[in-house]
Amino acid sequence: MSSRFHVSSVLARLAAPVAIVASVMTLAACGDQGAEAEAQAVLALTQIHPIIARDVGQIRAGLPKGAAELGKHIGADPGDDPAGLQRRIKAAREHTPELNVAKSTFFAMATVDGVVLRSEADPDRLVEKNVLGPFPSLKQALAPGAGIVEATGEMDEMRGVRTGQDIIFVAAHAIPGDAGAASRGLFVTGWSYRAYAFYLEEAARRALADESKKQEKLKTPIAYVYLVRGGKAYGAPVSPDVNAEAVVKADLAPKAKDGPWRGRIEITDRPFGAAAQRLPELGEDTTLVVLATVY
């Protein structure tokens, strides 16, 4: 993680929900299915929240290095050789340890005017698209000493799923020119909220399965993860729409404003445990929500 982000502070904020897990587990032992589901939601939240801090930190630490690496190997007109530029983008990522393990769903080089010359993906849906349209603030990354600029918004070519709404977390850093020269362009990366929610959901389910195995439980908890922003809930591509609708209706973001929140939600006449935590790592308007149920 970047030194600008301290994992220890995240763990300190999670101390309260960990205590909640212990107390709610006691209630669950009494046969209250709702209490057990609530405990599972809180447990999943405490497990995946530090993962987000780690993943954002990898981008913040790695993107300046990757931009510098890319700048060393591109010619005067990198757009003249799209295939070669794609190889250089890939090499810049692979030679930067933090970026090589980052959970990004795209890496691309854009001109100083925001036009993408090439991305690492094939087929390349981003090529010739302008990232400054949906993310105008990325232009600030070209200012001397600006460092990384982050933004969130919608861009169809960056979406992680083919159907349904999606938004994108984007980070950009200037690609340095020769000594004293102007920036060559922007090195851009990030991820789709829905693709990232799927990744977090898989991590949450593994954590709950491992805990159930340790405790030799017969019932298997199921977790659903959502990233909530702007009054909308973004979940995994196969996540039930009714669950996302329930998360939006519950309006959990304000409830988690001052710290982690936990409670219960009824969905299709079934009790679900819910836990919510604000995510300043992805912007002040993003909230992590975990739903859990026990079968």
What ranges do the domains of the chain cover? 7-52+198-294, 73-194
Tens-binned pLDDT, residue by residue, of the chain (295 aa) = 333 322 223 223 223 333 333 333 333 443 478 899 999 999 999 999 999 999 999 999 999 999 999 999 998 888 899 999 999 999 999 999 999 999 999 999 999 999 999 999 999 999 999 999 999 999 999 999 999 999 999 999 998 777 788 999 999 999 998 765 668 999 999 999 999 999 999 999 999 999 988 988 777 799 999 999 999 999 999 999 999 999 999 999 999 999 999 999 999 999 999 999 999 999 889 999 999 998 7
For CA atoms 16, 18, 20, 22, give the dihedral sign. Answer: negative
- DSSP single-letter state for residue 274: E
In 3D, which of 162, 240, 164 has the Cα closest to residue 201? 240
Cα angle 225-229-230, degrees, rounded to a multiple of 5: 145
Provide the 10 A C-beta neighbour count for residue 285.
Answer: 14
CATH number of this structure's domain 7-52+198-294: 3.30.450
Cα angle 158-196-187, degrees, rounded to a multiple of 5: 45
The gap between the terminal CA atoms of the chain, to the nearest Å, is: 37
Burial class (CB in 10 A: 0-12, 13-18, 19+), 241: exposed
Task: Give how far Cα 166 sits from Cα of 53, 94, 135, 247, Å.
Answer: 21, 27, 15, 16
The most distant pair of C-alpha atoms in the chain lies apart, rounded to whole Å, by 70
Query: Same CATH topology for 7-52+198-294 and 73-194?
Result: yes
- pLDDT, one tens digit per residue, over 197-211 is 999 999 999 999 999
Class of domain 73-194: alpha beta
